[in-house]
């Protein structure tokens, strides 16, 4: 199979107001043939350059109403146009440009890049199979400075970690969910009306006045999943990965000081991540 990445910007105007979408599109194609590998016969090979042209032409003709719809359109184009394609997958992610505001007034053509979580999506299809759509958010860095612990874990002769009930919980979140049978979804409507991003932040943080105790990274991952499944009916399966950053309280006793969780250093290694995929009615993987 072949993979192909292109980055571009789609500009769109309504009167004097500008709208900008910059995306990175990665298209995977698998052909039903093998002759290009075995014999060097290129007659069915679709060049990288052609794939790039198709993506740009689709963006020019129809714009990028939502990244999900754009990914679907690209998949459909390849499946419809090229009978030698056996499988196609399109991944699209957004550069997080946000409109500038001056004293609350939106600017008509100026933008700032605010990378506090990146929206992405994936559309995937095998020949004669259904078109499946995924959406998600990644690179969302969050921290709770209390209401987190880790106790009662499995112990043996290799255990040196002390139990803690007031640690820092910090990590980078990756969430990806699949929409079931998606005919005519308004993907931006699902995203904004269900406040998916807000929902993730709340499940992580708990109520603003007191938070909610997290007994482990695993439980926090599960809270985020349950929250999205309960709020967004179109989501069928959700995968959450939390890349943990550990912080150690610096021992200052030999410097004559008592450090009451005031100064902490991030621990680079070992680092870990915990991940879980949860579906409606059944567990897929734990």
Size of the site for its own copies (CB under 8 A): 128
Q: How crowded is the C-beta side of 84, counted as CA atoms within 13 Å? A: 11
Nearer to its own copies, 64 or 182 (CB): 64
- By CB under 8 A, tell whether 228 contacts its own copies: no
Site string for its own copies, 238-267 (x = CB under 8 A): ------x-xx--x-x-xxxx-x-xxxxxx-
Q: Dihedrals φ, ψ of 117, to 5°?
A: 110, 130
- By CB under 8 A, tell whether 271 contacts its own copies: yes
How many whole angstroms separate alpha carbon 74 and alpha carbon 57?
10
> Which tokens go with 21?
């979408």
- Smallest gap from Cβ 12 to its own copies, in A, equals 7
Q: Is 285 helix (H, G, I), strand (E, B) or coil?
A: strand
* Residue keyed to tokens 């499940």: 203
Nearer to its own copies, 186 or 195 (CB): 195
* Residue keyed to tokens 């005031």: 262
Q: Choose the binding region for its own copies from 114-122, 130-138, 177-185, 229-237 (rule: CB under 8 A).
A: 114-122
- Smallest gap from Cβ 134 to its own copies, in A, equals 19
Q: Is 10 annotated as a binding residue?
A: no
Instruction: Among 151, 192, 193, 230, indicate the residue that binds its own copies (CB under 8 A).
Output: 151
Q: Which are the contacts of 228, defined by CB distance < 8 A and separation ≥ 6?
A: 175, 177, 196, 199, 200, 203, 235, 238
- By CB under 8 A, tell whether 109 contacts its own copies: yes
CB 126, CB 86: distance < 8 Å: yes
């Amino acid at each position: 199979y072949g993979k192909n990445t292109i980055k571009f910007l789609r500009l769109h105007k309504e009167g004097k107001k500008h709208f900008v979408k910059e995306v990175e599109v990665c298209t995977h194609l698998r052909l039903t043939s093998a002759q290009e590998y075995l014999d060097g016969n290129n007659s069915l090979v679709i060049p990288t350059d052609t794939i790039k042209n198709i993506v740009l032409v689709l963006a020019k003709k129809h714009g990028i109403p939502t990244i999900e719809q754009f990914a679907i359109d690209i998949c459909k184009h390849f499946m419809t146009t090229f009978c030698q394609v056996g499988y196609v997958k399109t991944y699209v992610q957004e550069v997080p440009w946000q409109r500038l505001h001056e004293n609350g007034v939106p600017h008509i053509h100026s933008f700032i890049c605010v990378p506090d979580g990146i929206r992405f999506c994936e559309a995937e299809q095998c020949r004669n199979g259904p078109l499946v759509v995924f959406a998600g958010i990644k690179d969302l860095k969050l921290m709770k400075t209390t209401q987190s612990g880790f106790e009662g874990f499995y112990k043996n002769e290799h255990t040196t970690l002390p139990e803690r009930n007031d640690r820092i919980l910090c990590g980078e979140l990756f969430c990806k969910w699949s929409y079931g049978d998606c005919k005519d979804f308004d993907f931006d409507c699902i995203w904004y009306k269900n406040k998916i991003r807000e929902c993730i932040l709340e499940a992580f943080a708990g109520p603003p006045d007191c938070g909610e105790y997290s007994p482990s990274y695993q439980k926090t991952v599960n809270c985020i999943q349950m929250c999205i499944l309960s709020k967004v009916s179109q989501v069928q399966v959700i995968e959450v990965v939390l890349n943990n950053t550990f912080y150690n309280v610096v021992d200052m006793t030999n410097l004559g000081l008592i450090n009451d969780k005031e100064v902490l250093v991030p621990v680079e290694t070992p680092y870990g991540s915990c991940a879980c995929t949860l579906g409606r009615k059944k567990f897929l993987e734990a």
